[in-house]
């Protein structure tokens, strides 16, 4: 395999929920910067297609449910073994669902927690020993600016993302001595298949209008921030949640 150029040349990056939406964009952007990428998604068709779009065979698909602890470990171990180590983990997979709290069924809440929070625990458990063995690296967790608002009907989702922020700071403290940075990205509203399942076409327009920049970030812009946090340019940044929200969270009265 030819030596890659780019800010992530020679790095091995594992991304969960990489079959579509932001995860796919992040996998592509990291590969464009020279990384070899492992793409995990429970949707086999999506993840096979996403991996096949990564040039030069540098994308390896894993059809795995992120809530399956042992399967996540097997996938990450396999990827690290193939790559001779692991440098980057992106915890991105999510299960979106909105509803008033009294209406949220127990199985729906359990599933959201299993995917969006416990899935992050399982990926971290599996990846951390490889990152330490590789003498450091970067963990990037997908949070959301939803944490900063009282978004109607988003109680479970927002609670999960609040926990992700807390876990990001906690793990940054715990893993710093190993040269591992742990940061979060907090996108504003970004048009993706998952977000469109809970946000109407009309609401997308309102959301764009309510930002300072009068626009919504694209998946590629979120991916660019992930590349930055994974690159050596960000080696002194840890424990941070970086908002990419076109300024919506600074809106005044």
Ligand X SMILES: NC(=O)c1ccc[n+]([C@@H]2O[C@H](COP(=O)([O-])OP(=O)(O)OC[C@H]3O[C@@H](n4cnc5c(N)ncnc54)[C@H](O)[C@@H]3O)[C@@H](O)[C@H]2O)c1
Per CB under 6 A, residues contacting ligand X are: 17, 19-23, 41-43, 46, 65-67, 92-96, 115, 142, 144, 187, 189-190, 192-195
The residue with its CB nearest to ligand X is: 194
CB atoms within 10 A of CB 223: 24
Residue 10: CB minimum distance to ligand X, A: 26
Q: Give 134 or 195: the residue with its C-beta nearer to ligand X.
A: 195
Q: Residue 71 CB, nearest distance to ligand X (Å)?
A: 9
Least distance (Å) from ligand X to the CB of residue 94? 4
Inter-residue contact 163 to 184 (CB < 8 Å): no
Q: Which is nearer to ligand X, 21 or 61 (CB)?
A: 21
Task: Please state the closest distance from residue 30 (CB atom) to ligand X, in A.
Answer: 15
CB of 127 or CB of 134, closer to ligand X:
127
Residue (32 or 165) nearer to ligand X, CB: 165
Q: Catalytic site residues?
A: 157
């Amino acid at each position: 395999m030819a030596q890659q150029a780019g800010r992530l040349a020679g790095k091995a990056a594992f991304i969960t929920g990489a079959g579509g939406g932001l995860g796919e964009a992040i996998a592509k952007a990291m590969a464009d910067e020279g990384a070899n990428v492992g793409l995990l998604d429970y949707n086999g068709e999506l993840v096979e297609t996403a991996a096949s779009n990564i040039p030069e065979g540098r994308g390896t698909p894993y059809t795995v449910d992120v809530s399956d602890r042992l399967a996540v470990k097997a996938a990450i171990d396999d990827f690290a073994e193939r790559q001779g180590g692991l440098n980057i983990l992106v915890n991105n997979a999510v299960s979106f669902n909105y509803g008033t709290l009294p209406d949220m069924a127990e199985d729906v809440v359990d599933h959201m927690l299993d995917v969006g929070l416990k899935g992050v625990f399982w990926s971290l458990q599996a990846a951390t020993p490889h990152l330490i063995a590789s003498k450091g690296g970067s963990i990037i967790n997908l949070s959301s600016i939803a944490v900063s608002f009282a978004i109607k009907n988003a109680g479970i989702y927002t609670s999960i993302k609040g926990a992700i922020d807390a876990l990001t700071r906690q793990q940054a403290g715990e893993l710093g001595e190993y040269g591992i940075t742990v940061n979060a990205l907090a996108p504003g509203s970004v048009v993706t298949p998952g977000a469109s399942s809970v946000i109407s076409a009309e609401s997308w327009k309102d959301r764009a209008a309510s930002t300072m920049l009068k626009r919504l970030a694209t998946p590629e812009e979120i991916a660019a921030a992930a590349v930055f946090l994974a690159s050596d340019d960000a080696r002194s940044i840890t424990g941070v949640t970086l908002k990419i929200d076109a300024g919506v969270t600074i809106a005044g009265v």
